[in-house]
Amino acid sequence: MELIASSRGTNKLAGLYPNLHFVPLDVTDRRQVQQVLRAEQPTHLIHTAAMTNVDECELNQESCWLQNVTAVEYLVEACEQLSIHLTHVSTDFIFSGEHGPLTEDATPGPVNFYGESKLAAEKAVQASSARWAIVRTVLVYGTAHDYGRTNIVLWVRDSLRAGKQIKVVDDQFRTPTLAEDLAQGCWLVAKHDAAGVYHISSSELLTPYQMALQVADYFQLDQALIVRVDANTFTQPAKRPARTGFIISKAQRDLGYEPHTFQQGIAVLAQQTAS
């Protein structure tokens, strides 16, 4: 068994994994998708690429649709032709936020364009004749490896270390997901040749404010710098669902999936970023 890594452009992880088999691929290029998958002949494809900045998706809807829907249609087409098992990563943002935590059969109702695009991608996968699974996840955090991105844990830790006051919402609920747990969930889906939809996250329903307090406590930083606010404090182009989070019993039962707690996840990240 061999892992083939891929992304648009050069291999950003070459320094960390010099022996990794890497193939550049722009999934918005149909011809390139066909060429790469025919050349590599994988048995399983785990698709994680997407435009995920929710406000950018709202403001640049054409680009969002290209990356989140059209690209998926290209991958679905190739997987059908080459008999490849497709695992597609999706999001809690396909839901309205009126209820939560949610099971896999909950009714979607996105409240922003990002969610609409991800729901459309799910429908393209579900209509496919290829073997497929959809892995939905929530608020992923972990080490960034110079990708120029941050997440709830790194943002809170680094802000508080710099003595900055931060405003954090306490009226949105999520089940935060350690990146390694998401990777493990995707791996288990491929390993078991699983079919259907699986919710992969932690089982703890927390607000970002509650998460921020845990981060401050772990790193022994000043919690007084964390200001509790509600979502109306911020003016953002895209609406956020108020309450999502996942029930993960299906993945636990069918795949043997067991995630870290948020406290354990902070510890993993702290060890990875220790200098």
- The pLDDT of residue 148 is 62
Contact 172, 242 (CB under 8 A): yes
pLDDT of residue 1: 82
* Residue 136 predicted with pLDDT over 90: yes
pTM: 0.96
C-alpha to C-alpha distance for 157 and 143, rounded to whole angstroms: 12
Summarised one tens digit per residue, pLDDT across range 243-263 is 999 999 999 999 999 999 999
Which pLDDT score, from 0 to 100, does residue 144 have?
Answer: 73
Examine the pLDDT at 274 and tell me if it is beyond 90: no
CATH number reported for the structural domain that contains residue 179 in this entry: 3.40.50.720
Total domains in the chain come to 1
Residue-number span of the structural domain to which 47 is assigned: 4-272
Identify the band that residue 275 occupies on the pLDDT scale cut at 50, 70 and 90: low
Model confidence pLDDT, tens digit, residues 24-83: 999 999 999 999 999 999 999 999 999 999 999 999 999 999 999 999 999 999 999 999
Q: Each residue of 160-218: pLDDT tens digit?
A: 999 999 999 999 999 999 999 999 999 999 999 999 999 999 999 999 999 999 999 99
Locate the DSSP E strands across the chain.
Answer: 4-7, 21-24, 44-47, 85-91, 132-137, 140-141, 166-169, 177-178, 196-199, 226-229
Q: Are 175 and 204 in contact (CB under 8 A)?
A: yes
Q: What is the CA radius of gyration of the chain?
A: 19
DSSP string spanning 194-229? --EEEE-S-S--B-HHHHHHHHHHHHT--GGGEEEE
Task: Find the range with the poorest average confidence among 11-15, 17-21, 34-38, 248-252.
Answer: 11-15
pLDDT score recorded for residue 147: 59
Residue 259 identity (one-letter amino acid): P
